[in-house]
Each structure stands twice: as structure tokens, then as C-alpha cells.
Structure 1
Amino acid sequence: MGEPKPLVRWGDRTLIEWERDQLLASCVEEIVIVTGSRAEAVRRTLGEGGRYLVFNQRWPQGRATSLAKGAAALLAPGRPRPSVVVVQNVDQPAPARVIDRLVEVFRTRVAEGARIEAVQPTYLDAAGREHGGHPVVLDGDLLEELAHADEEGEGLRAILQRHPPLRLPMPDEPSVALDLDTPQALAKGRRVLGG
């Protein structure tokens, strides 16, 4: 794609700026952005709007190390423990309305007495098969487990296998199926989200 995913142009800004702005517009109270490759360029791009940036020196070892680094930051002494955690990958962008809907469903179900530990949006592929999408909302009680995520243990996928999420069909939200791993997927993401 010619440049690191966080720094790709997305409309009038970069993808990481767009995602930060969506999180700020959502019900999310605190944002932790985990950086890896090109961390300094991401920091400069976000400037003061970077909120809480954490550098993951183990980023070449895989995505799970960034998940663990973000969870560890949320567990740092003196920080209030969040009751809900939204896991948002830079290459799987979601608008604020999707984030808000997932958090609302999680909180409503818990308030109704349901014992759920995660909510994951779902989408159907061209053959009609259901797949889990992004972002994923997790109970804050899973932070210790997230802080120990690694690639060998399959990271978030393994956590969701141990703590099966409430799967929320979102047929009218194509963003939950996005994965910006190719130039074609990036073009589709721009069409879907106006980036």
C-alpha cells in the first residue's frame, strides 16, 4: 500500500486520525493507541490529539503483542479500571455509531442480568456464511487475560474461544467486515466509510 496502515490517506487526514476521531465521537471514555512500526511518525501525526500512546517494542512478533501492551497500559497502577474495553484494530476501522451500538448492547445485556463477557458484530459473506467482525467489546475483567495474549496462544481469537461473545448481526453495517490488508480492500473501505 506504499506506507504503514495508520498513515494511509483517509479523506482529508490519515487513517489513524480518522479512527481516533471516531473513538472520540463515541461513548469510549479513554483511548489507548498502541504503536509499533513508524511509532514516531504516528505520534507526530496525532500530535496532542494522540491521547495515550503506548509503544510496543515487540510489534514484529505479531498483533497479539500490541493487544497485550494496550491491556497492560489500562491495568497500570493508579489508573481506573474500565468496565468495558473496545478492541479496535487500525486496519479494521469502525465508525462511532458501530462502537456505540456494540457498547450499548453489552451494557444493556449486563444490566438485564446476562452473563456475557464479549460482544462481536457479525456479517455474512457472499455464500451466506456468518463471520465475526470488528471491533470487539470485552468485559474489563478480561484485561489480565488480554495482557498475557501472545501469537502462539492466538491472541484475541483464543480469548473469544474461551469467552464466547454475544454475536450481534449487523447486516446494514459493512464496516464490520472490513480488513484493509490490500489496496483493493483499502479502496473498498474508502467507499464504505467515505475515507
Structure 2
Amino acid sequence: MADTSVPYFENPAFKKSFADVPIDASNNISTQEFIQACESLVVIFDYLKASAFAPVRSDISGNVTKIDTRFKEAPAESATLQDLVKNELKNKKHTATEGLLWLTRGLDFMYQALHANNKNSSEELSVSFTNAYGETLKPHHGFIVKKVFSAAMGFCPKRNDFYKEVGKDTPPETLQAQLDPWLAGLEKIVGILKPFMDSKDAKW
């Protein structure tokens, strides 16, 4: 568990912003920096301070681990996420590819929830997360998992408490200046990964 006595974006466990993940002209995403950005995203669950979010955190962390394992097994074939997927599938395996599919859904969920909440200052986190869950992960979950995740959404902290936790003594305008590019970077990555994971290149 990360030390939450410091602001989220200054936390030693925050290794990489999504805004700083290299993406080339063909929209190929650098695997190593993507993994670091996703590991940094997981830290935000410590600031949510809701044990009910443990299944959500576990789901995202587990899928990051699958991608990291494949990257370390075959770094030369996995420099970008697209290469990792294509080369894993050539080897008749799909553990990391399936992990990336679920991780993409999880990242889309986090982006939609935090973007909506950041945009609407009167909306509580529980509303933003519930709406985002319905749009992203829920259609892919079975009955029992839906109940677990849906219950977790109701345990979000109050909006003001969450942003105080994330920013600590950071001035609101400074926190916003950190949050905006992070969310924009996450949006760009999700926008690339969703169609790629739906393409024939990512089918097993």
C-alpha cells in the first residue's frame, strides 16, 4: 500500500503519467512505460480509502502483471503493446493479450469515471463510478462479479474528501494542471487500444 500522506502525483509510487507514455506515429504504444503508468494508476485506489474497491484494484493489477510477465519473457518481441500481442498470438498463447483486453476495459472505466467527475463539480464519485461501470466493465461481467463491482461503487468517498486526499495541500489549480494531461493521456491510450483489441490482430 502506498504512502498516502503525500499528494498522488508526487507519490514515490507514481512512476509515470499516461501523458508521458511514448506513442509513435503509427499509434504503437511503448510497453514498458505503459506498464509503469498503469502501476501508477493503481496507487490511486489507496487514496479512495474504500476496501470495497479491492476487487477493482486486484483486477487491474492482475492484468498489468500478465502484460509485465510477457514483456520480461520476450522483451525483443514486446517493445510496443501491439508487438507484444501479435508475437504472443504467433506463439499460440494469449495470456497477456487477454490481460490487455481486460485492462483496456478497466482503464476505460477509470477514465470515464474520473473524467466525468472532474468535468462536473456537483457529481459525487459514486455516481461517476457507477455510470462508468455500466458503460465499460458491466456488460462483460457475470452475475456474481456484477454484484461485487456494483456494490463497490457505492463505497466511494465523498467527492471533496477524495480530491483533498489526492491533492493534500496542493493548490486546486496545480492539482488540475496535473490531472488534465494525465486524463488526456489516458484517454488517448484507451482510444488506441479499444479498436486494436477489437481488430483481427488481437484475436485468439
Structure-1-length-normalised TM-score? 0.30
Larger fraction in strand: 1
Larger fraction in helix: 2
- Compare relative contact order (CA 8 Å, sep 6+) and give the higher one, 1 or 2: 2
